[in-house]
Structure 1
């Protein structure tokens, strides 16, 4: 698959975090993937639908946990129920163990990274989750 057909979606209610994530992912992964961003779980669900209609495969969603209206574990479970092949990661400064366990059990959460994160560690986790060299 080409870059034009594979995406990574970052979800966080803080725009500065999304901008930083997008920049770091582009620095670490080059143009291997389309990097998308959403400021809420609801917007992220719309982005996944849109990409799907455009025949762009969302490979990975990296979501914050503490967001208004829908927590990250709830969001990732919803995504997993509809799109079980999308890998999931959580990147958050605030989370409780029960939420992580919930996401592992019901959304097959592949990794949890605490904020602030290390750019190289994040890239290594993504490469591991996506089985990239």
Structure 2
């Protein structure tokens, strides 16, 4: 299944580059706002919404070629974008209506999604705070890689 997903994703990426989907998406987002803050907010919202309905691997394979060039055009580091994408996908995987990890955890624990949703808000808050820090404070997410790479 994973190899099939990667193969289809490769074909999809080729078609997206052939039809310049990343450039068109970037132009559309730039027509809404030219502020990097607004562009990054739009990317966060889109990735979160896709994460609620799609599997993490699919979201990463499909959205990275679209949003990475846009994010880099507005000054985001690729490492920072990777962290941003993973946190958005993690939030999406735990959010109904699909929320696969939450439904699996609830089934294993024998409790309802409603019970979990009542207690999970502090963890959502922490993930959202981390996502905002990674998005808007680059040094927060890049200091450790810069130390390890000696830059």
How would you bin the TM-score normalised by the shorter chain?
0.3 to 0.5
The structure that is helix-richer by fraction is 2
The structure that is strand-richer by fraction is 1
- Could you tell me the TM-score, scaled by structure 2's length? 0.32
